[in-house]
Structure 1
Amino acid sequence: MKKDLSSQITLTRIPQRYYRPENAFEHSVLTRLEKIPTNIYESVDEGSLAIANEIATQIRMKQEIGESFVIALPGGRSPLNVYKELIRMHKEENLSFRNVIVFVEYEFYPLASTFGGNVARLQEALFAHVDIPSENIHAPNGNMPKDEVLDFCRKYEEDIKQAGGLDYILLGLGQSSNIMFNAAGSTISSRTRLVVLEGAARKEAARTFPSIDNVPAGVITMGISTMMNARSVVLMAWGEDKAGIIAKTVEGPVTDLIPSSYIQNHPNSKVVVDLSAAYDLTRISHPWLVTNCEWDNKLIRRAIVWLCQLTGKPILKLTNRDYSEHGLGELLALYGSAYNVNIKIFNDIQHTITGWPGGKPNADDSNRPERATPFPKKVIVFSPHPDDDVISMGGTLRRLCDQHHDVHVAYQTSGNIAVGDEEVIRYCEYLRDVCDKYAAGDNSVKKKAEEIINYLRYEKVENGEPERKDVLFMKGTIRREEARHGCRYSGVKDDHVHFLDLPFYETGMVKKNELSEADKDIVKNLLLKVKPDQIFVAGDLADPHGTHKVCLDAVLAAIDDVKDEEWMKNCRVWMYRGAWAEWEMDHVEMAVPISPEELRHKRNAILKHQSQAESAPFLGDDERLFWQRAEDRNRATAEVYHQLGLASYEAMEAFVQYIPLR
């Protein structure tokens, strides 16, 4: 099974020479706006392997001269693949950690119990699997008395000095540019200290706890000065959600508003990213500003959209001078004039707009994004969670149903951990009252409801164990029925709603399992059963919790298995976004206009998912509720089309076609 096909989506967009230059001269040309050495890899696995190899090499070099290797390590999800590779090297390549001294970069404080701490997670992810002596692991104690914290922070810095200083510090990167937990405003002289978790930092910490309410009040973290004193600094970042802050870190000015930018001042620092995280760097996003380009339709469109936004002009008003003054003279040489380029791109973008997302019957489809035949089409909409369908493509979903296509919706995960305990209590209290009224003689259901109520209200303790199965059942049922109601409201038949409950998700914890053959086969079996003409799948890789990527990989792996089936050769796969980000204008291949009335219907469909409103545990860093995000993004897409000189719509949903690899 091919597990990481989603990474190929980015690969198909970016010529290799932009991130892997042929020689030193080309590298210097491409990276001249970058203020830190930046290594771009095609995938998270490849980047993590490079970091692990570097760490292993330094460990062995120190072993050869009989010295200790002193390293500072972070928690979170970013280094997990690095740790997996180090464990593999230990088991398969005899890499010993006996000479390694680790200083953990931060620990939450005060911890209600040690299970939720960063040290416990590092123990599970790395320390328990290698031969590092326990006395070589130094970390803040999340349970120490408050009057000892200040002395501990001073001593922690002294312990680092006594160990010979940090040879290597590995850093993750927060959404708000924090390194470790040094948020905006942290000074370059800051040392190990206790900081209060608030705002963006608190939301970021919530990713490793069951909910934001479980996040401790503060965190003991190394400071910027601690980092600057290390002999080698490596900052890693993976995924689209880190692209914007990586660009500011690597190409922007050094400022305390962007704490990660401080590493520009370190003499031996570098950044390691995958292509998705590198996407906003100039050599990747706007290569015409630093080198000659390999022009294709998508890159030309990106350049023209950028030029329109820079000049404030619609496409058809761009002039030769606009092109020449902004580094796009190559296009004038290729096409002869601005007018020729303008017409080409205007028509290209105009042809992405369609009110018939399933194809318009009995119509010339040569300039339409979807085929006229067959009609009606068999359609499967894959939704990672039981609400992503209506959040990201609710208008298109309703239109497909209204236009009489045979629409199936497949919810890939139960979404059970994303339901707050108070929602379960409310439904169980309702269930108890119904039993009192209509089933007084049968106490079994009422007893179960009261048992769950009492457990959630008075007995539940966050101890790192999976959620109870009866509670998970209640939470999953709540989401299932909300999804069924949302589908019914959108026009999907009841027997066309599928709950796949992919096994990777069903851990009862925030941490999920790896994608497996079992997950892929569940998706594959549905494809073989329906044999669709059209598939919609979430391509929203900016999801900070990672579930969307795993769900996308499950569908793409299943498609890879059936791509040679006759029906699949005539099936088109469309990727949608919306819950966490939107497609860039240069990649949109189908845009479905949404009227004010249709936008209201979409909002109502999203609001059927009541458990995911204001009390939802995993709303992420965005303050807006999901229906607000969806409307804002859909309106913003329509506004971009309008600014480019095309028709003005209330809102639009955008899609990109996925071509299975051959």
Structure 2
Amino acid sequence: MVKLNLSSQIVLNKVPEEFYHPKTAVELSELTRCEKLPTTIFPKTEEGALSIATTIANAIRQKQQSGQYCVLGLGTGSSLTPVFNELIRLHKEEKLSFSNVVVFNAYEYFPLQPSAKNSTLNQLKERLLNHIDINPQNVFTLEGTVPQDRVQESCRLYEQRIQSFGGIDIMLLGIGRIGNIAINEPGSSLTSSSRLILIDSLTREEMSMSQSTNETVPPCAVTMGISTILKARQIFLTAWGEEKAAIIQKCVEGSISDAIPATFLQTHNDAHVMIDLAAAGRLTRIVHPWLVTSCKWTDKLTRAALVWLCEVTGKPILKLTNKDYNENGLSELLTIYGSAYNANIKIFNDLQHTITGWPGGKPNADDTYRPERATPFPKRVIVFSPHPDDDVISMGGTIRRLVEQGHDVHIAYETSGNIAVGDEEVTRFMHFINGFNQIFDGNKDEVIKNKYKEIKEFFKKKKDGDTDTRDILTIKGLIRRGEARTACTYNNIPLDHVHFLDLPFYESGTIEKLPMTEKDVDIVRKLITEVKPHQIYVAGDLADPHGTHRKCTDAVLAAIDLEKEAKAEWLKDCRIWMYRGAWAEWEIENIEMCVPMSPEELRGKRNSILKHQSQMESAPFLGNDERLFWQRSEDRNRNTAKIYDNLGLACYEAMEAFVEYKPL
């Protein structure tokens, strides 16, 4: 069986089970002393979804036995989809009936045309309601189609309707990256009821990624208020993935504030946060467990503690004293190592050994303390790049180093990246092709002329959210292929080592991608079995807000897993390294290989990123960060070097960091 979600288990390699699954109530109480909301952490998203769905199913059955309605308040964010899928499974396989269920939709876009496909009610129907036996008359939603002067009255009637059913039994919500629940944006008050609200730009971006159409998200929404939500008898807040880790930490451990509306859940007597390990990544018990419990001190945890202690004291590692350890809750380490000096030297050397100028291994050298093996040399290397520029953005300096040191480097672009090309780029290329055709073809060929005219007409009529034609998507894909080839040539990679995999899951033409299947995995597996690499580099940047990186990484890890099951000989001599890109960086305590760059090498990396001209100022998906990708990359690499410098290690211009993935 193909495992399509192995990326969700990457975090398991570094978090001991006792931190997220304590055996006793006393241990749980210790671990969660910084948490102001009951928070349950699951190793896998599927386990969390099953837990929530089981609780909802039990409530539905109990109400059925007493002849009552079970009233659910439901959001429609993508984090709720796994729960909806589990509820559908319970209905189909375990005969769970929803005949006594009443649903209140948490929010609706405004203004909406009656024919709009992107309403949140439609999303709720597609993801849940159409697949269960709920009575359509028991489904209620806030109105997005009423005139603005009637919105307030419509909201008042909605509140009355909720009360007429005895209130909401279970409220199921996701959390936005700015801490919104439903569409209660920062500034919403504790006493707010259902109302019209302006949607924040970041929330709109999240919403556009979670809907299955390309229609533009309207500027406003009608939403249940904070007070409406808090009247529910039980509340579940869900979050999955690294991109939600920062806001979950603030929600669970921070003070109550209208700047983060989700913190109001701390005032509820039966609210529960249900998250996976990745979303729990910033909670104290996961990232700084020594502050809340006694620890089993592994080398990695000791390294994390000392890096943290350096930040707290403002000292490099070798200047930390016994007093620093004692005053900051790390006296256990003094017992283990005997003195601050011994612990300092141990971790200093560990960090020193992560730095290498030979990412492919240094031939004829003692590799005892090097992150990579000396042999075989040269190595066959595959760098998997989700989009046609992630390779150079994330590890452009390392790629150049591998090529210069004689390794056989292949670059595999997993998707076309065609939706991330602006329309003006297509127009510019069509201008060139049309002009070229007129000059050199003597106007004999009408095909290009007609296609040029057709595309111009399409762009003239195109509205926000319209899906491009297949021809336009093909042209956009060709533009990105050309840029990728140019960057590879600049990095001295032969074009027969440049592979465009065009994984099928990506080719939906919209931000929302198709489900990944075995077809995607088979394409990746075919390449790795042909090359039989000694090194594989893969995206570990799972906080990519568009989700493409995660799916691409899942395809590679699934292919590797199949090869492992088949006992492939080549895999015994292969290491898998995970890089991160423009969205995040590895925590210093988890870095296992760090490749330094000189100012000249950093400039070379910048030049290779700049070959991707369509991804500069006009790129459609720069996100909430105003910096261009080359600027983000340089800042990230310089910051990594600065952290090493602050810890008292060698001072470099910039550094690229990697973590090894060991197949489970």
| TM-score (norm. length: structure 1) | 0.97
Q: Alpha-carbon deviation of 1:437?
A: 2.5
303-312 vs 631-640, which moves further: 631-640
Query: Alpha-carbon deviations, 1:582-608, whole Å to 9, x = none?
Result: 001111000001111221221222122
* Equivalent position of 2:584 in the other structure: 581
Match of 2:604 among 601, 615, 638: 601
Residues 356, 164 of structure 1: alpha-carbon distance in 2 compared, 3 angstrom cutoff: same
Q: Alpha-carbon deviation of 1:145?
A: 2.3
Q: Within 1, Cα distance between the matches of 2:213 and 2:316?
A: 45
Q: Within 2, Cα distance between the matches of 1:217 and 1:599?
A: 41
* Equivalent position of 1:106 in the other structure: 107
* Equivalent position of 1:557 in the other structure: 558
Q: Within 2, Cα distance between the matches of 1:147 and 1:534?
A: 63
* Equivalent position of 1:621 in the other structure: 624
**Following superposition of structure 1 onto structure 2, how do residues 277-296 of structure 1 map, counting pairs within 5 Å?**
277-296=279-298
Match of 1:428 among 427, 430, 439: 430
Q: Alpha-carbon deviation of 1:411?
A: 0.6
3-state SS in 2 of match to 1:444: helix
Q: Alpha-carbon deviation of 1:433?
A: 2.6
Residues 421, 145 of structure 1: alpha-carbon distance in 2 compared, 3 angstrom cutoff: farther
Residues 618, 405 of structure 1: alpha-carbon distance in 2 compared, 3 angstrom cutoff: same
3-state SS in 2 of match to 1:655: strand
Asked whether 1:33 is paired with 2:45, we answer: no
Asked whether 1:568 is paired with 2:571, we answer: yes
**Following superposition of structure 1 onto structure 2, how do residues 440-479 of structure 1 map, counting pairs within 5 Å?**
440-459=443-462, 462=465, 467-479=468-480
Query: Alpha-carbon deviations, 1:149-208, whole Å to 9, x = none?
Result: 222122221221122211111110111111111121111011111111234333333424
One-letter code aligned to 1:610: Q
621-630 vs 94-103, which moves further: 621-630
**Following superposition of structure 1 onto structure 2, how do residues 164-563 of structure 1 map, counting pairs within 5 Å?**
164-208=166-210, 214-439=216-441, 440-459=443-462, 462=465, 467-563=468-564
Q: Within 2, Cα distance between the matches of 1:410 and 1:296?
A: 36
Q: Alpha-carbon deviation of 1:615?
A: 2.5
Given that residues 384 and 548 in structure 1 are in contact (C-alpha distance below 8 angstroms), is that contact kept between their aligned partners in structure 2?
Answer: yes
Query: Alpha-carbon deviations, 1:610-645, whole Å to 9, x = none?
Result: 222233222223232211211111111111100000
Q: Within 1, Cα distance between the matches of 2:469 and 2:92?
A: 35
Q: Alpha-carbon deviation of 1:459?
A: 5.0
Given that residues 593 and 658 in structure 2 are in contact (C-alpha distance below 8 angstroms), is that contact kept between their aligned partners in structure 1?
Answer: yes
* Equivalent position of 1:84 in the other structure: 85
Alignment RMSD (CA, Å): 1.7
Residues 373, 584 of structure 1: alpha-carbon distance in 2 compared, 3 angstrom cutoff: same
Q: Within 1, Cα distance between the matches of 2:10 and 2:212?
A: 31
Q: Within 2, Cα distance between the matches of 1:659 and 1:561?
A: 14
3-state SS in 1 of match to 2:176: coil
Which runs of structure 1 show a deviation greater than 4 angstroms over 4 or more consecutive aligned residues?
209-213, 459-463
427-436 vs 546-555, which moves further: 427-436
Residues 433, 110 of structure 1: alpha-carbon distance in 2 compared, 3 angstrom cutoff: farther
Given that residues 204 and 621 in structure 1 are in contact (C-alpha distance below 8 angstroms), is that contact kept between their aligned partners in structure 2?
Answer: no
Given that residues 74 and 105 in structure 1 are in contact (C-alpha distance below 8 angstroms), is that contact kept between their aligned partners in structure 2?
Answer: yes
* Equivalent position of 1:136 in the other structure: 138
Q: Alpha-carbon deviation of 1:246?
A: 0.9
329-338 vs 612-621, which moves further: 612-621
Q: Within 2, Cα distance between the matches of 1:570 and 1:490?
A: 26
One-letter code aligned to 1:445: I
One-letter code aligned to 2:647: L
Q: Alpha-carbon deviation of 1:210?
A: 9.3
3-state SS in 2 of match to 1:59: helix
Q: Alpha-carbon deviation of 1:461?
A: 7.3
Given that residues 214 and 511 in structure 2 are in contact (C-alpha distance below 8 angstroms), is that contact kept between their aligned partners in structure 1?
Answer: no
3-state SS in 1 of match to 2:117: helix
Q: Alpha-carbon deviation of 1:211?
A: 11
Q: Alpha-carbon deviation of 1:427?
A: 2.3
3-state SS in 2 of match to 1:115: coil
Query: Alpha-carbon deviations, 1:50-98, whole Å to 9, x = none?
Result: 1111111111111111111111111121011111111111111111111
Given that residues 211 and 617 in structure 1 are in contact (C-alpha distance below 8 angstroms), is that contact kept between their aligned partners in structure 2?
Answer: no
Given that residues 614 and 625 in structure 1 are in contact (C-alpha distance below 8 angstroms), is that contact kept between their aligned partners in structure 2?
Answer: yes
Q: Within 1, Cα distance between the matches of 2:484 and 2:426?
A: 16
One-letter code aligned to 1:651: A
Query: Alpha-carbon deviations, 1:264-301, whole Å to 9, x = none?
Result: 00011110000011111111111111111011111010
**Number of aligned residues:** 659
Query: Alpha-carbon deviations, 1:313-359, whole Å to 9, x = none?
Result: 00000001111111111111011000000000000000100111111
3-state SS in 2 of match to 1:424: helix
Given that residues 378 and 405 in structure 1 are in contact (C-alpha distance below 8 angstroms), is that contact kept between their aligned partners in structure 2?
Answer: yes
One-letter code aligned to 1:247: Q
Given that residues 202 and 212 in structure 1 are in contact (C-alpha distance below 8 angstroms), is that contact kept between their aligned partners in structure 2?
Answer: no
Given that residues 574 and 657 in structure 1 are in contact (C-alpha distance below 8 angstroms), is that contact kept between their aligned partners in structure 2?
Answer: yes
120-129 vs 272-281, which moves further: 120-129
Given that residues 243 and 279 in structure 1 are in contact (C-alpha distance below 8 angstroms), is that contact kept between their aligned partners in structure 2?
Answer: yes
Q: Within 2, Cα distance between the matches of 1:205 and 1:574?
A: 32
Q: Alpha-carbon deviation of 1:538?
A: 0.5
Q: Alpha-carbon deviation of 1:460?
A: 5.6
433-442 vs 211-220, which moves further: 211-220
Residues 246, 358 of structure 1: alpha-carbon distance in 2 compared, 3 angstrom cutoff: same
Q: Alpha-carbon deviation of 1:430?
A: 2.8
Given that residues 539 and 553 in structure 2 are in contact (C-alpha distance below 8 angstroms), is that contact kept between their aligned partners in structure 1?
Answer: yes
Q: Alpha-carbon deviation of 1:462?
A: 4.2
Residues 308, 569 of structure 1: alpha-carbon distance in 2 compared, 3 angstrom cutoff: same
One-letter code aligned to 1:75: T
Match of 2:162 among 149, 152, 160: 160
Residues 210, 229 of structure 1: alpha-carbon distance in 2 compared, 3 angstrom cutoff: closer
Residues 442, 138 of structure 1: alpha-carbon distance in 2 compared, 3 angstrom cutoff: same
Residues 41, 210 of structure 1: alpha-carbon distance in 2 compared, 3 angstrom cutoff: closer
Give me the identity figure in percent. 58
Q: Alpha-carbon deviation of 1:2?
A: 1.4
Q: Within 1, Cα distance between the matches of 2:14 and 2:92?
A: 37
Given that residues 592 and 659 in structure 2 are in contact (C-alpha distance below 8 angstroms), is that contact kept between their aligned partners in structure 1?
Answer: yes
Q: Within 1, Cα distance between the matches of 2:20 and 2:211?
A: 36
Q: Within 2, Cα distance between the matches of 1:595 and 1:431?
A: 40
One-letter code aligned to 2:591: V
Given that residues 21 and 41 in structure 2 are in contact (C-alpha distance below 8 angstroms), is that contact kept between their aligned partners in structure 1?
Answer: yes
One-letter code aligned to 1:604: N
Q: Alpha-carbon deviation of 1:494?
A: 0.8
Q: Within 2, Cα distance between the matches of 1:453 and 1:117?
A: 30
One-letter code aligned to 1:422: E
| TM-score (norm. length: structure 2) | 0.96
451-460 vs 11-20, which moves further: 451-460
Unaligned regions of 5+ residues in structure 1, if any?
A: none
Q: Within 1, Cα distance between the matches of 2:141 and 2:618?
A: 34
Q: Within 1, Cα distance between the matches of 2:177 and 2:260?
A: 11
Residues 467, 569 of structure 1: alpha-carbon distance in 2 compared, 3 angstrom cutoff: same
Q: Alpha-carbon deviation of 1:209?
A: 6.2
One-letter code aligned to 2:128: L
